[in-house]
Chain A
């Protein structure tokens, strides 16, 4: 039996829509232009943060595998490098009350939640993604200065055949959005101002 090209095309389109969607988040990494916080900070990037990956299996929207591909960690490295006077990547064990190692404080960024919506689920005409970050800042004797939750949000219109690209773009915008909030607001927070005052001996 000869298979008609049109039927074959329909079959291929159907199979493509059912297959698992693998997304690798890529895109430009801007360097923020903000006033530096006058502090030397050790930053611990956990393995989970550096290679964050989100998987969802849903009968409604199919299987999704979203790999942040290091883009998230690279972005935050650039962000913190430009926000603080000096930063250095450290190990989790370096955060202790015995030896500050010359740091004024320690920072641990985490991804607490990630989620996305397709137009099929939300009923809206665009794809959206949100990321909840948690920043934990400790002073030089490892006591907590601040635990701050920041939610980044991004959206993209996408196209009929561009749902993977739309989710990738929305995710990247969510990372940027959270980064913008952190870059602008962290230095203005009362806890940070008080920490800096203590550090200066005031």
Chain B
């Protein structure tokens, strides 16, 4: 009987810990600017491109993958053309060194041999540029861990605060102009408490920003 109670307590603590690990708190703020009306026919597609720079700050591929996944699922899924395939199909025009920086550059790009034809073949209506990154803005606390032949353990407490700030710029390839911008800012503080085993309570502001931006982008393109 005692063993059963012990097992029950273990599972209860384990479940509680899992909830803490998965449900760290992150808050998001979204802003939208629209310059023209938009719409997306069923057979039309969009492509998400992460802005690449040669500095430390570059949109993570995992962020654009997360957004593509979120946009292509749910009630009104959008056909999202693969970023890798797009860059290969339109090489060299979307490499970091030469990629267009404003919607005005589109006209010049569409004059290049084969570009307009390939866009039409693939039925791509929008290019959405994603800019931004997730950075650590604060941290503190101390935790020490020891490993020895007898085993190991941690003791202490530490935290870190992250800020995920991203902007989506939507280019309409049919009208060759910028259709608008959506920006999101998510913040969250994660903790690790070390009581022999380290117990993480993770906020995932990057994930929150991805979901917030994808939801707003879907509304922007399809209407509410």
Interface residues, chain A, with chain B CB atoms under 8 Å away: 4, 6-7, 10, 28, 30-35, 124-126, 153, 155, 157, 176-177, 179-181, 183-184
Contacts and interface: CB of A to CB of B under 8 A. Distances in A.
Contact of B88 (A4, A30, A184): A30
Q: Specify which of A7, A34, A125, A180 lies most central, judged by the most chain B CB atoms within 10 Å of its CB.
A: A180
Nearest to A30: B91
Contacts, number: 59
B60 interface: yes
B111 to A, nearest CB: 10
What does DSSP make chain B's interface, helix, strand, loop or mixed? Answer: loop
B63 to A, nearest CB: 11
Interface residues of B, number: 26
B73 interface: no
A179 B95 CA distance: 10
B95 A176 contact: yes
A75 to B, nearest CB: 10
A184 B115 CA distance: 14
Contacts of A124: 56
A4 B93 contact: no
B149 A7 contact: yes
A188 B88 CA distance: 23
A32 to B, nearest CB: 5
A116 B60 CA distance: 20
A36 to B, nearest CB: 8
B211 to A, nearest CB: 21
B98 interface: yes
Contact of B95 (A28, A34, A180): A180
Given A28-B84, A32-B92, A33-B113, A177 B97 contact: yes
The 8 A-B residue pairs with the shortest CB-CB distance, nearest first, are A180-B92, A30-B91, A180-B95, A30-B88, A33-B114, A183-B92, A28-B88, A32-B92
Interface string B40-56: 00000000000000101
Nearest to B88: A30
B84 A34 contact: no
Nearest to B117: A33
B90 interface: yes
